[in-house]
Amino acid sequence: MPTTLAQPTAGYIPRSSTDDLKAIVGDWYEELFEVWDERFRQTYGSLHPRLRELFERFLRCGDPHFGFIRLYCDGCGENRYVPHSCKARGLCPSCSQKRSLLWAERMVAEVLPLAPYTQLVFTIPKILRKAFLYRRELYGELCKVAYLSTREFLAAHYPSLDHPMPAMTVVPQSFGDLLLPHAHAHAVCSLGVYDREGNFHPAPDDLDFSPLEGIFRERVFKMLLENEATTPERVEMLRSWRHSGFAVHSQRRLAQGERGALEKLLQYLVRAPVSLRRLEYDRESGRVTYRGKFNPTLGRDHQNVSALEFLAMIVPHVLLRYESVIRCYGAISTTWRVKFGWISDTADTAANGECDVNSGDGRSDPQDEQESNFERQRKKTWSRLIQKTWLEDPELCPKCGKKMRVIAAISSPAQDDVIEKILKSIGKWDPPWQRAGKIRGPPRQLEFTNEEFAQVAPWSEEDFDQRPAGDDGECLP
């Protein structure tokens, strides 16, 4: 199978343009659209039409046959070809990893002030999760409820403060470890609150978050009732249960100086649903094995399903265009950061709908603000993120070690002839449309009963003998 065209350096290994997930998508996504309503809609919700475009973009991700960036070394004349990425959120593991690295780094370096933090995980009972499959906007409401519940809980410990609020970022997640639909929310919250002047008041070291569960439960009930996502009878039933299914976990806590651990925690919050290291695809049998943690409901630590079923399991977790998932509340919201003087430009917002840029210690320096645009662009370069992961700079020439420069950006389909010429000249021309794919069966035949046929047939039985005949004696359609 072809790989990216860059020559490997000591630490950096260019990713392959093919993997098991791409093989699954390429083999089965067309059939998925044909059978979705019949087989998967009740289990996994609706299938948005734009997912077809995302699947096709994902299949081209990292493949030089669909375009690349050409880098050139002035020292030794070495060329390097870096394929374009798809940027499909919740689908492409590579692009999701780049996005998580960038977001976590910016949050730690420029958004989250220096303070101790804790991870909060808000879960709801299974009986309430299905509504999120059909109404994705409920995830945003769940994040808001998580913040309001936490603020109410923490404010009770500071009765003398006017409008105390934590610094909190909340990310909803739709999947569990084995890709089952599991609507819940992860949050990173300061262990303490800020007052209206931006002063931090730390929480007690032995702060017990267990009362937060009850506050969260009642606010979720209210939110679902207001959005008509449940019934009052179901709410009363859940209130009567000894174990309601709601939970708020707060075991992981980070001290003020643990910025590296905080960054890794934030990366975990926005990770991709599918891990390629856990995935195995047997193309001949059409079966997929996906391994993870033990699931008490399933009674196993893996999924062994058909490739079509596995692809259907991914659909609820793919994010569409303009679908914002990362939310910042309280002291790190744009409104309060402007009031605190941590930032001065309210229009400077992040590309993903998250927070805009501010200094990590809660104070802004005029010179830093002037350089913020440059710094932000510098930190978004693909080479720096790869260097951070592999400890190797892919922009350095593998032969002489000098900095390579970008000399061309070649895209498809406008420059397909150029792409073919270059790849053939270096012996890397192996387009995916010429490779052997999955053998497909004939199209499904629709079968009708007599009653169903009468509803869809363009001719009635009385008209059958009156249709014009063709040259061969058979009736024309």
pLDDT score of 367 = 36
pLDDT score of 239 = 94
Average pLDDT of the chain to the nearest whole number: 81
Q: Which residues contact 215 (CB under 8 A, 6 or more apart)?
A: 149, 152, 153
- Of 131 and 379, the structure prediction assigns the larger pLDDT to 131
pLDDT score of 37 = 93
Residue 280's nearest CA partner among 296, 270, 292 is 292
Separation between Cα atoms, residue 108 and residue 102, nearest integer Å: 10
312 and 40 Cβ atoms separated by less than 8 Å? yes
Mean per-residue pLDDT, 266-295: 93
Lowest-confidence region among 306-310, 333-337, 442-446 = 442-446
The amino acid at 435: R
Q: What tens digit of pLDDT does each residue of 114-163 get?
A: 999 999 999 999 999 999 999 999 999 999 999 999 999 999 999 999 99
Among residues of the chain, what percentage have pLDDT more than 70? 77
Q: Is 207 exposed, middle or buried (0-12, 13-18, 19+ CB in 10 A)?
A: middle
pLDDT score of 11 = 43
Q: Is 117 exposed, middle or buried (0-12, 13-18, 19+ CB in 10 A)?
A: buried
Residue 187's nearest CA partner among 325, 337, 314, 93 is 325
- Of 74 and 199, the structure prediction assigns the larger pLDDT to 199
Assigned token pair, 147: 């913040």
Does the pLDDT of residue 245 top 70, yes or no?
Answer: yes
Mean per-residue pLDDT, 300-320: 94
pLDDT score of 314 = 95
Q: Which residues pair with 288 in a beta bridge?
A: 281, 305
Lowest-confidence region among 188-192, 306-310, 344-348, 367-371 = 367-371
Assigned token pair, 131: 């509504």
- Of 405 and 315, the structure prediction assigns the larger pLDDT to 315
pLDDT score of 464 = 34
Mean per-residue pLDDT, 88-93: 90
- Of 177 and 329, the structure prediction assigns the larger pLDDT to 329
Domain boundaries, the chain: 20-89+390-434, 93-380
Q: What tens digit of pLDDT does each residue of 175-219 get?
A: 998 999 999 999 999 999 999 999 999 999 889 999 999 999 999
Q: To 5 degrees, how large is the angle CA 12–CA 15–CA 18?
A: 165
Q: What is the pairing mode between strands 200-202 and 192-194?
A: antiparallel
Please give the radius of gyration of the chain, using alpha carbons only, rounded to the nearest integer: 27
User: Number of C-alpha atoms within 13 angstroms, CB side, residue 233?
Assistant: 0
pLDDT score of 438 = 61
Does the pLDDT of residue 451 top 70, yes or no?
Answer: no
Separation between Cα atoms, residue 104 and residue 108, nearest integer Å: 6
Residue 382's nearest CA partner among 2, 6, 3, 1 is 6
Q: To 5 degrees, how large is the angle CA 393–CA 395–CA 396?
A: 75
Of these ranges, 218-222, 324-328, 398-402, 469-473, the one predicted with the greatest mean pLDDT is: 218-222
pLDDT score of 350 = 40
pLDDT score of 155 = 95
Residue 398's nearest CA partner among 5, 2, 1, 3 is 5
The amino acid at 86: C
Mean per-residue pLDDT, 42-49: 91
Mean per-residue pLDDT, 258-280: 94
Q: Is 315 exposed, middle or buried (0-12, 13-18, 19+ CB in 10 A)?
A: buried
Separation between Cα atoms, residue 191 and residue 78, nearest integer Å: 52
Does the pLDDT of residue 293 top 60, yes or no?
Answer: yes
Confidence of residue 370 (pLDDT cuts 50, 70, 90): very low
Mean per-residue pLDDT, 320-338: 90
333 and 355 Cβ atoms separated by less than 8 Å? yes
10 Å Cβ neighbour count for 382? Answer: 14
Does the pLDDT of residue 343 top 70, yes or no?
Answer: yes
Mean per-residue pLDDT, 7-22: 63
Does the pLDDT of residue 452 top 80, yes or no?
Answer: no
Phi-psi region of 18 (alpha: psi -120 to 50; beta: other; left: phi over 0): beta
Separation between Cα atoms, residue 360 and residue 259, nearest integer Å: 10
The amino acid at 111: V
User: Number of C-alpha atoms within 13 angstroms, CB side, residue 380?
Assistant: 9
The amino acid at 421: K
- DSSP code string of 298-339: TTEEEEEEEHHHHHHHHGGG---TT----EEEETTSHHHHHH
Separation between Cα atoms, residue 422 and residue 233, nearest integer Å: 66
Confidence of residue 310 (pLDDT cuts 50, 70, 90): very high
Q: Is 9 exposed, middle or buried (0-12, 13-18, 19+ CB in 10 A)?
A: middle
Separation between Cα atoms, residue 121 and residue 250, nearest integer Å: 7
The amino acid at 147: Y
pLDDT score of 71 = 85
Lowest-confidence region among 3-7, 291-295, 343-347 = 3-7
Does the pLDDT of residue 9 top 80, yes or no?
Answer: no
Q: What tens digit of pLDDT does each residue of 208-238 get?
A: 999 999 999 999 999 999 999 999 999 999 9
Q: What is the dihedral of CA 184, 216, 124, 187, to 10 degrees?
A: 20
- DSSP code string of 1-57: --B-SSPP-SS--PPBS--HHHHHHHHHHHHHHHHIIIIIHHHH----TTHHHHHHH
Q: Is 288 exposed, middle or buried (0-12, 13-18, 19+ CB in 10 A)?
A: buried
Element (H, E) at 376: helix 372-378
Does the pLDDT of residue 80 top 70, yes or no?
Answer: yes
Alpha-helix residue ranges (DSSP H) falling in 111-194:
131-134, 138-155
Mean per-residue pLDDT, 286-291: 95
Mean per-residue pLDDT, 80-108: 88
Element (H, E) at 452: helix 450-456
